[in-house]
Structure 1
């Protein structure tokens, strides 16, 4: 029983029952929402185990969400026969990992400079960075294709370094335009602003440089922000479709999302489509489940300022 000012306070049994019922209903609602949002994933995985005819016949009922009937892994075998899944996955992993790692470094340093350093015009710079978020990528995609086709590049051929123009059909054209991100810089700026500046002043008195403060003080205290930016960078980098379709024609350099084209060229094999999407969705789920706690705490911390 709770004690208040030396007196034992008896709780009303009706109040305890009301709280218990509210908690029960809250859990039931949350479980119901979780099951509702899991339906598409369950349908995708279950359909990947069925032949096309059974997928279409089961769509109208609960059998669409149950692994019943003629099930097997034949669709997955057909996927590997139709497209170079391993190569597409490797390309996406390379592009995504480089974008995430380089983006964390570049965007966090930019956020540190805006939030911790004192220099004229930083508010204007932050406003311009935020303003870039309202520009749809589709509006600048075609001009970007022209500019990347004119950029210089170095080629290593036959043991010699050769100079050429054009980034098309390369890894860098899929990586470099997406390293800097306005929202990531804004999120880092907001989160870094919550760290007491007294730590910076104490470190400066001890002779630490700004980069040392960034590396040894701010970064270790900003794990949730880094996890959030990693997730928010990983998802669009992994799901890129429009840009690689425009700048990459070499099959050896295509990412997984461009590989979806292969399943809609002739007769659509829905079982193979579901098998392919199941395989390329798995890394996204693994990354999100690994960082979900840090993601939630960072969003809550970066959105509230005292």
Structure 2
């Protein structure tokens, strides 16, 4: 009986790995196609799409499309802009939204349930409905910088960062996670005389690795894929992100090889960020003493 049970477990494990492997192949195929297509001239690229050659580095393979992409547009600048805007927004969003969720879950104050309901209600409001009013406000706001007081936030990093620091979904994720944390930890810390700031920094946040990784990934994808808002508020190349830069490759002579090369380049930060967060997520799970 023990041998049969072990064989069944082995079969289930093998079946699970096969299914997961097939799912991984399905997700990897578009990336392989994009990478292989970026190495081929347009004529060969279009011909290979009718066969498995589209997924193989065969034929006239070179890096010419990458060199041509850098000549057509300031690709490095676009990637740098997206990394700056996305990285700063994600960091500030995790800080602001986790602090807000901490106040909603652990701190007693009048009207917190109503306020949380109003914040969650913003999830049903499409961004397109507030884009124009937000643009009008951003174009009139003051800013104190090196040059002194200036008016208008257009053509800057701040106009792409500040409106997206706090959002209802991220606050909701933190609220739901914080509610599942053991209340005994918070009560014990309060009895020992810890302040709310100390509880937030030393107890709650060190136990919040999974929700931090989840919120960071979701926020990263939203910010890195931004197109409408940056298109509205940036008229200078010096502040445009990668998605706005993509339109450079659909003007005049459209070259699919260059488009694939550009897409390959702008995908690298996404993969790097995902791999880093995956490692951090596993480490946080291994180091936490809370289960549930």
User: Who is 1:68 aligned against?
Assistant: 58
Which residue matches 2:240? 254
Q: Which residue of 1 aligns with 2:28?
A: 38
Q: What value does the CA root-mean-square deviation take over the aligned residues?
A: 2.1
| 1:192-226 CA-partner distances (Å, limit 9, x unpaired) | 11222222222222222111111111111112221
Q: Do the aligned residues in 1 keep the contact of 2:249 with 2:255 (CA within 8 Å)? A: yes
**1:11 equivalent in structure 2:** 2
Q: What TM-score do you get using the length of structure 1 for normalisation?
A: 0.88
Structure-2 change in CA distance of 1:202 and 1:18 (3 Å): closer
The question of 1:92 aligning with 2:78 is answered no
TM-score (norm. length: structure 2): 0.92
Taking a change above 3 Å as real, the CA distance of residues 166 and 138 of structure 1, as seen in their structure-2 partners, is: same
Instruction: List, as ranges, runs of 4+ consecutive aligned residues in structure 1 with deviation greater than 4 Å.
Output: 293-298
TM-fit CA distance, 1:110: 0.3
Flag structure 1 segments of 5+ consecutive residues without an equivalent: 1-9, 299-305
SS of 2:58's equivalent? Answer: coil
**Structure number with bigger Rg:** 1
Q: What is the rounded CA distance, in whole Å, between the counterparts of 1:11 and 1:134 in structure 2?
A: 54
Instruction: Return the match for 2:140 from 139, 150, 171.
Output: 150
**Counterparts of 1:176 and 1:44 in 2: how far apart (Å)?**
33
Greater share of helix residues, 1 or 2?
A: 2
Candidates 67, 72, 80, aligned match of 2:70: 80
Q: How many residues align?
A: 287
Q: Would the aligned equivalents of 1:79 and 1:272 in 2 still touch at CA under 8 Å?
A: yes
Question: What residue in structure 2 maps to residue 266 of structure 1?
Answer: 252
The 8 Å contact of residues 224 and 297 in structure 1, kept in 2 or not, is answered as no
**Does structure 1 conserve the Cα–Cα contact (< 8 Å) formed by 2:209 and 2:281?**
no
In structure 2, stretches of 5+ residues that fail to align are: 285-291
Counterparts in 2 of 1:296 and 1:141: CA distance versus 1, 3 Å: farther
1:192 aligns with 2:178: yes
Give the drift of 1:146: 1.1
Q: How many Å separate the matches in 2 of 1:25 and 1:214? A: 43
Taking the TM superposition and a 5 Å limit, the aligned residue runs for 1:1-306 are 10-11=1-2, 13=4, 15-157=5-147, 161=148, 163-292=149-278
